[in-house]
């Protein structure tokens, strides 16, 4: 499970920049000899992301690891940095209802991994709610 309690967002036209920091929580089962569903450790992950949101086109996600992994990699004698990358495609929906006199953005995304190197494939389903904070 990944929790990102606060994100900072800047938007101009169809372009969006996000800075966030979150925590991986040690959930799920973990067996040192078997299948690992959970991570079995706490970890902090910071992210910078850019999105071009054109309501007429599909959404895209392209994560790319920029630094080498450190430490032993299970079952690999020379991991060579073990950098991961992927590509996810899918739809997004943005609605902006007015709640208590304030515009509230509600964004739903479904991104399916169509390419993965040194990482598992999967689906990302996100629901986010955002509103401007005025001084």
Co-location of 60 and 37 in the same domain = no
Co-location of 120 and 59 in the same domain = yes
Whole-angstrom Cα distance, residue 51 to residue 10? Answer: 11
> Is 107 contained in some domain?
yes
Express each pLDDT in 29-85 by its tens digit.
666 676 666 667 788 878 777 777 665 655 555 566 666 666 555 555 455 666 777
Co-location of 25 and 10 in the same domain = yes
Whole-angstrom Cα distance, residue 123 to residue 81? Answer: 25
What is the extent of the structural domain holding 17? 1-52
Co-location of 40 and 106 in the same domain = no
Co-location of 132 and 106 in the same domain = yes
CA 65, 76, 79, 44 dihedral sign is positive
> Is 77 contained in some domain?
no
Co-location of 21 and 59 in the same domain = no
Co-location of 39 and 61 in the same domain = no
Choosing from 52, 74, 95, the residue where a domain stops is 52
Whole-angstrom Cα distance, residue 10 to residue 32? Answer: 42
Express each pLDDT in 84-97 by its tens digit.
777 788 888 889 99
Express each pLDDT in 1-35 by its tens digit.
777 777 787 888 888 888 888 888 887 766 667 66
């Amino acid at each position: 499970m990944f929790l990102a309690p606060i994100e900072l967002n800047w938007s101009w036209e169809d372009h969006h920049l996000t800075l966030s920091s979150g925590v991986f929580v040690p959930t799920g089962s973990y067996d040192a000899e078997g299948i690992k569903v959970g991570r079995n450790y706490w970890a902090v992950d910071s992210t910078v992301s850019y999105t071009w949101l054109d309501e007429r086109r599909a959404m895209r996600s392209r994560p790319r690891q920029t630094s080498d992994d450190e430490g032993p990699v299970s079952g690999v004698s020379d991991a060579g940095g073990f950098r991961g990358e992927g590509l996810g495609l899918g739809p997004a929906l943005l609605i902006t209802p007015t709640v208590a006199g304030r515009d509230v953005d509600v964004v739903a995304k479904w991104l399916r991994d169509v390419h993965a190197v040194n990482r598992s494939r999967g689906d990302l389903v996100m629901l986010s709610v955002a509103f401007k904070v005025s001084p």
